[in-house]
Amino acid sequence: MDISVVIPLYNEAESLPELAAWIRRVMDDNRFSYEIIMVDDGSTDDSWMVIEGLKVINPKISAVKFRRNYGKSAALNVGFAAAQGNVVITMDADLQDSPDEIPELYRRIKEGGFDLVSGWKQKRYDPLSKTIPTKLFNSVTRNMSGIHNLHDFNCGLKAYRKEVVKSIEVYGEMHRYIPVIAKWAGFRRIDEQVVQHFPRKYGTTKFGPGRFIKGFLDLLSIFFVGKFGKRPMHFFGTMGVLSFLAGFIIAVWLVVEKLVSIANQTPYRNVTDQPLFFFALIAIIVGTQLFLTGFIAELVSRNGVDRNNYQIEKFI
């Protein structure tokens, strides 16, 4: 099968018939073999009823319905697990993404040799309350991840080589950072494509301010797990040793200073009377705790079921 189109959706009953017909027209015009996987993320409108009707019209549509709303990441993860196409295309169900972009995305994966091609909505039809924070997050993500050639990490329109979606796990709000997850999994051939972005035609946006905090925390999680997931002692141990040494050196310096003052019979202060001593004591305690945290994390990591789960690209 050439293409799997994965569509996460929540309360998009009005847009689904038009979207399904649009995708079918593009696929038929280009003679692609394909499937459409719709993941209903616990919709409370008639989305599922509409999907059932669409499947009668087009048997290449399959669908999954969650009992409640779990979020876009969960919907994508389930869609990735079900996808069978050599190239997996994701897009939102609100008609702001154009299926006409699919042939070029497919070509760049198959002929261009990319692992992932992300859409870039160079001209957006979103309010400033959404576009400005998005630009900020994209800038932070570029600098933290080292993927400097992407302008829009959170664009719903993306194309993946099948091996990518079968090798990554998406949860929380991490759908925003799939290129980062893919990079940490060893898929480094990542590029972008300028895509059309249309104003929302039906319904209302599901975007909320609470996603800013969740998105930032998930970015920190991805960065830490990707860099230190299999060697947590390198992070906690290093920080612990530095903190312990800083506190120990300060404490020794205070003691030596007192002894020198006594030897020279000059006025001196007791070590415990100096605020710097308590900073040194805190640094020693924190350093010890960080080191022990790293040790425990290392034990947990070594006993994890995926401790030797490495991404293998080729084998002969």
Q: What would the mean pLDDT of 264-288 be, rounded to a whole number?
A: 89
The whole-number pLDDT of residue 126 equals 64
Q: Point out the least confidently predicted range of 2-6, 132-136, 155-159.
A: 132-136
**Which phi and psi angles does 231 have, rounded to 5°?**
-150, 65
pLDDT at 212 over 70: no
pTM for this prediction = 0.73
Separation of alpha carbons 127 and 14, rounded Å:
22
pLDDT at 308 over 60: no
Local confidence band at 295 (pLDDT 50, 70, 90 cut-offs)? confident
Q: Are 214 and 175 in contact (CB under 8 A)?
A: no
User: Dihedral (C-alpha) 74, 76, 78, 80: value to the nearest 10 degrees?
Assistant: -150
Q: What is the pLDDT of residues 68-119, one digit of tens each?
A: 999 899 999 999 999 999 999 999 999 999 999 999 999 999 999 999 999 9
CA angle 114-307-76, nearest 5°?
A: 45
Local confidence band at 310 (pLDDT 50, 70, 90 cut-offs)? very low
- Say which residue the tokens 């019209």 belong to: 57
Residues of 228-254 as b/e, b for ≥16 C-beta within 10 angstroms? bbbebbebbbebbeebbebbeebbeeb
Q: What is the pLDDT of residues 126-155, one digit of tens each?
A: 666 666 777 777 887 888 778 888 988 888
The sign one gets for the Cα dihedral 221, 224, 227, 228 is negative
The sign one gets for the Cα dihedral 69, 74, 78, 84 is positive
99 strand-pairing partners: none
- HSE, CB side, 13 Å, CA atoms: give it for residue 170: 26
Q: What is the pLDDT of residues 179-194, one digit of tens each?
A: 988 998 889 999 999 9
Q: What is the pLDDT of residues 82-91, one digit of tens each?
A: 999 999 999 9
Q: What is the pLDDT of residues 246-268, one digit of tens each?
A: 999 999 999 988 888 888 888 88
CA 276 to chain CA centroid, Å, is: 42
